[in-house]
């Protein structure tokens, strides 16, 4: 996610819970993987979210499971980590379809594995044996499964993708291509930076307000920067020399859950992980916390034959 102009927040985090009852942590092949209980009950579905633990990449004197190509890691390490992760989730032989993500609302429909990675931030399919993948290090990963039509989706939602309604548009694409009914969908919102830690500029709040009537609910304290600044009357600084307004904390998971509900999903079919990537740097990767040397998590989903 893009850095903002504001300084790191000094507020007390609202929540640092370690897990949600709808999510489980499972050890497999020396790795820790996160899964959704309701998804695991479907015998025809493969899914998982990776964690930092294990792997062959070296970061801060620790072996980690970095699943994204980065300047600090070798391509060989990442490929080995991906093989290890796929084996741990029970999909060692499936083609991994990872996108070149760029914070867009571009959605790809896959009938077969592409020869080269596609640029986009969401993918859907109703074909078995295609492992759809999303990489994150703070952004929101969303996995969708339609038990009736046997179709799936993987979505990458940063603040720009959320603002562009990528989750809503992905559901719309599933409706058009597969006949999906939103009320039938199951949705997993995976670990991401939480509303406790994700500070953005007030200009982002303004953009959200222009698109979503419930936008103030996504923020800890909704401000657009246009509010009167009482500080200037206290410090008597001349106009144009006032400090910029402090940022606001944005809860991207809440924003995307709201989109899913508005699209027609049932609240009991949306499973949100409480894990904040910035609060749990020993378990997860966080670009905000660790900077350019951060690794990448991966969320995957596939249909069995």
Q: Where residue 73 sits, what CATH number does that domain have?
A: 3.60.140.10
* Residue 291 neighbours by CB under 8 Å, 6+ apart: none
139 domain residue, yes or no: yes
Predicted pLDDT of residue 286? 98
Q: How far apart are the C-alpha atoms of 90 and 20, rounded to whole Å?
A: 23
Boundaries of domain holding 273: 23-196+264-303
Phi-psi sector, 85: left (phi>0), alpha (psi -120 to 50), beta: alpha
* CA Rg value for the chain: 20
153 beta partners:
124, 144
Q: Is 244 domain-assigned?
A: no
In a domain, 82, yes or no: yes
Pair type for strands 122-125 and 131-136: unpaired
How far apart (Å, rounded) are the C-alpha atoms in residues 19 and 22?
8
CA distance 101 to 143: 16
pLDDT tens by residue, 103-127 = 999 999 999 999 999 999 999 999 9
Q: Please answer whether residues 96 and 86 qualify as being in contact, where contact means their C-beta atoms are separated by less than 8 angstroms.
A: yes
CA distance 81 to 130: 19
For the chain, what is the domain count?
Answer: 1
In a domain, residue 276? The reply is yes
Q: For residue 217, is it within any domain?
A: no
Residue 279: burial class (beta carbons within 10 Å; 0-12, 13-18, 19+): buried
Per-residue confidence in pLDDT tens, the chain, 305 aa: 544 444 444 454 444 444 579 999 999 999 999 999 999 999 999 999 999 999 999 998 899 999 999 999 999 999 999 999 999 999 999 999 999 999 999 999 999 999 999 999 999 999 999 999 999 999 999 999 999 999 999 999 999 999 999 999 999 999 999 999 999 999 999 999 999 999 999 999 999 999 999 999 999 988 876 655 544 445 555 555 555 567 999 999 999 999 999 999 999 999 999 999 999 999 999 999 999 999 999 999 999 99
Q: Is 235 inside any structural domain?
A: no
Cα-Cα-Cα-Cα torsion 191, 207, 223, 280, nearest 10 degrees, comes to: 10
Domain assignment of residue 133, yes or no:
yes
Residue 219 lies in a domain: no
């Amino acid at each position: 996610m893009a850095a903002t102009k504001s300084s790191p927040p000094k507020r007390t985090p609202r929540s640092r819970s370690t897990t949600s009852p709808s999510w489980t942590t499972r050890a497999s092949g020396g790795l820790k993987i996160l899964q959704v209980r309701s998804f695991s009950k479907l015998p025809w579905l493969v899914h998982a979210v990776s964690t930092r633990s294990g792997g062959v990449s070296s970061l801060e004197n620790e072996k980690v499971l970095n699943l994204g190509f980065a300047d600090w890691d070798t391509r060989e390490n990442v490929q080995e980590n991906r093989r290890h992760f796929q084996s741990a989730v029970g999909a060692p032989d499936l083609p991994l379809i990872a996108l070149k993500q760029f914070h867009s609302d571009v959605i790809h429909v896959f009938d077969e594995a592409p020869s080269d990675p596609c640029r986009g931030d969401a993918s859907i399919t109703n074909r078995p044996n295609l492992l759809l993948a999303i990489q994150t290090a703070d952004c929101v990963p969303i996995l969708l499964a339609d038990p009736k039509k046997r179709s799936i989706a993987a979505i990458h939602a940063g603040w720009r993708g959320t603002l562009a309604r990528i989750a809503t548009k992905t559901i719309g694409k599933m409706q058009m291509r597969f006949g999906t009914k939103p009320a039938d969908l199951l949705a997993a919102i995976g670990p991401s930076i939480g509303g406790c830690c994700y500070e953005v500029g007030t200009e982002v709040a303004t953009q959200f307000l222009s698109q979503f009537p419930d936008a103030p609910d996504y923020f800890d304290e909704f401000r657009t920067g246009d509010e009167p600044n009482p500080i200037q009357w206290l410090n008597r600084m001349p106009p144009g020399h006032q400090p910029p307004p402090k940022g606001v904390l944005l809860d991207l998971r809440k924003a995307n859950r709201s989109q899913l509900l508005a699209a027609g999903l049932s609240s009991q079919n949306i499973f949100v992980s409480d894990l904040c990537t910035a609060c749990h740097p020993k378990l997860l990767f966080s670009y905000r916390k660790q900077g350019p040397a951060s690794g990448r998590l991966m969320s995957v989903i596939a249909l069995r034959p």
